[in-house]
Amino acid sequence: MSDILVAFATKAGSTEQVAQAIAEALCKAGDTVDLRRARGVREPVSRWGCIVLGAPIYSGRWHRDAHRFLRRHRGELEGVPVAVFGMGPRSPEEEEAWQRSRSQLDRALAKRSWLTPVAKTVFGGADPPKRRQATRRDLRDWAAIENWSRDVSAIAASRPAPAA
């Protein structure tokens, strides 16, 4: 059992829904979870035993609030396990789009050479709710999200608790 912060950035709400699903899966695994918008986390993050940070990838860039979170908390994050996810493509038939999204997340994280995530993934994205389209595309795989969350819980549980 660990204390875990799930911090997220979102533009249209899809990433927030994924962050909520991650938080619920972590709670089911016995973890204590705080779910917060990344831009609102101002206190020291070293009090949590693990950090999950997620944000959408738009136009090849990871959301700026995720970058700001990493910059703001750099000193503390070097001593805390960090798991990262990005929200990627909305077209199921394009493996190339998935590869691009993974590369874009890798590029975003490469700007933080001090950061070595304990887990990293890209989940499928979803069209914004107000999209003018007869059918909205939604590639979020809720089972994969839950499985990844359980993996993060196990990683967090294998780490020593932070000093009080």
With a threshold of 0.75, does the pTM exceed it?
yes
Q: Is 128 part of a structural domain of the chain? A: yes
pLDDT tens readout for residues 131-162: 666 677 888 999 999 999 999 999 999 876 55
* Tally of domains in the chain: 1
Average pLDDT on 68-82 reads: 94
Q: Is 164 part of a structural domain of the chain? A: no
Q: Is 162 part of a structural domain of the chain? A: no
Cα–Cα nearest to 86, from 58, 51, 115: 58
Q: Is 12 part of a structural domain of the chain? A: yes
Q: Is 137 part of a structural domain of the chain? A: yes
For residue 162, what pLDDT is reported? 53
Instruction: Write the CATH number for 130.
Output: 3.40.50.360
Alpha helices in 53-94 (DSSP H): 64-72, 74-77
Structural domain including 13 reads 3-157
Per-residue CA distances from 34 to 5, 45, 95, 106 (Å): 5, 11, 34, 26
Rounded CA gap, 84 and 91, in Å?
22
pLDDT tens readout for residues 87-105: 988 776 678 888 989 999 9
Q: Is 10 part of a structural domain of the chain? A: yes
Cα–Cα nearest to 70, from 35, 116, 32: 116
